[in-house]
Amino acid sequence: MDEKTLVNEYRRWLSFQQQAQLDREHRGAQQRLEASKVSATRMTEAYRSMASKGASDGASYRTLFLREHGDTALACEGWLWVRRVLAEGGSTRVRATLLITFTLEEGRIEPGRHPVEKVSLEIFDQLNIDRGMSSVARVDRIDSHRDTRFITLLDAVRGDLRRHMQ
C-alpha cells in the first residue's frame, strides 16, 4: 500500500470513529431529554435565550442532529446561531443559521469551507406511547425532511463564528 493510500484510509477510519462517537453522544443526549421530560415550552425558552445571546454576543451553540440516509439516520455536528423564535398559532418556529462541522461523507469540516445554511426548525411535544404516554420536546428541521432531532447544547458556546454566520 502506498503512502497516499495509507493516509487516505487512516483519515477515513478517523471519520468513522468520529461518526460512532457522535452517534453515541446524540443517543445519550436524547435519552437524557426523554428522562427529564422537557416540554416544548421549556425548549422554546431555551431557544429564546440562545437568540438573545446570539443577538448581543454573537453566540453560536453546538448542535447535534440526525440526517437521513435511506433507512439509516446518522448524527451530524454543527454550530447553530439562533436569529429568531416565532410562536404563532400553536406552532413555534426557530429561524437560525447552521454551520455544519461534521458529516460522515465530508468528515471534519473547517468553518468557512462550505457556506452556512439558513434553517427553519419547529419545536413541538412528541408523544411517546412506548413509555406510558409521556411526552418530550422535539426539534426538527421543517425546510429539509432529511434533518431531524436537533439537540442544541447550551453549555457549548462559541462567539468566534460570527463572520461565518453572516
C-alpha cell at 75: 448524527
Q: Mean of the per-residue pLDDT values for the chain?
A: 92
Q: Which domain holds residue 108?
A: 3-165
Quick check: 90 pLDDT over 80? Answer: no
- Tally of CB atoms within 10 A around 163: 9
pLDDT in tens, 17-38: 999 999 999 999 999 998 898 9
pLDDT at 58: 92
Residues present in the chain in total: 166
pLDDT at 126: 85
pLDDT at 87: 87
- pLDDT confidence band for 140 (50 / 70 / 90): very high
The answer to whether 49 touches 128, Cβ cutoff 8 Å, is: no
β-partners of residue 72 are: 69
pTM of the model: 0.91
pLDDT at 88: 81
Which among 59, 43, 74 is positioned nearest to 139, based on CA atoms?
43
The number of domains in the chain is 1
